[in-house]
Each structure stands twice: as C-alpha cells, then as structure tokens.
Amino acid sequence: MDLPKGIKEDADNWQTCPRCYDEAMEPWIEKGEAVFASYGLVTLDEFTKAFNRIPNEPKEEDYYTFREDYEFYGADEGVIKWQYSGSCTECGLSASESGEFPFYTKKR
C-alpha cells in the first residue's frame, strides 16, 4: 500500500533487552555449571536432586522491555532518511542513531 505524499512510515517494536536477559541468564548458567561440575563427585541421588532444583531457563520473551522506534522517509526527494531510538523500561539501556542515504539526484 502506498502512503500519501508527505506521510512518514514509522514503527515501534518491543524486543528482548540484551542487558536484562544477560543478567537473568548469568545466575542460571552458574547454577547449572555448579551442578554439572559435581557429577561423579556426589552420589547419583544427590546429583539428581541438585539437577532437578535448577530453575527453568529464562525466556527471552519475559524480557521484552526494549522499545524500538524507527522511521524511514524521503524517497520522493532522492534521499532516504532514517532515525532509530531504543530504550529499556527496566534497566535504562538505550541507543539512538540517525542518518541519510542519497540514492538519486533530481534533474529538476
């Protein structure tokens, strides 16, 4: 669908915050590594109990706290312009950037 002239297309999107997810994964990985390191050093029963106490792996979708906003426009002028910004509502991680890409020089 073509948008009317002068109308910008933009979007907002929720993604997994890489910082929040990494912080959630770290203790889960450490717990699993500790349990697996005990294999052969403890009885099978002790190992099984410890293994069963490892919590479920954190799910990326539980950390959809990073909002991305972006837009692209300017094709009618021969220059694609873009803007991006994103930030996490939980930890404050953020990024922003903008730019333009000339792809056609108008004759008139």
The model carries a pTM of 0.74
Q: For residue 107, is it within any domain? A: no
As for how many domains the chain has, the answer is 1
Q: For residue 89, is it within any domain? A: yes
Q: For residue 108, is it within any domain? A: no
Q: What is the Cα–Cα distance from 65 to 63, expressed in whole angstroms?
A: 5
Per the structure, the complete domain to which residue 84 belongs is given by 9-102
What pLDDT digit, counting tens, does each position of 25-73 carry?
A: 999 999 999 999 999 999 999 999 999 999 999 999 999 999 999 999 9
Q: For residue 72, is it within any domain? A: yes
Q: Where are the alpha helices (DSSP H) in 38-108?
A: 44-52
pLDDT of residue 108: 76
Q: For residue 1, is it within any domain? A: no
Closest C-alpha to 61, from 95, 17, 91, 105 = 17
Q: For residue 31, is it within any domain? A: yes
pLDDT of residue 54: 94
What pLDDT digit, counting tens, does each position of 62-101 carry?
A: 999 999 999 999 999 999 999 999 999 999 999 999 999 9
CA 71 to chain centre: 18
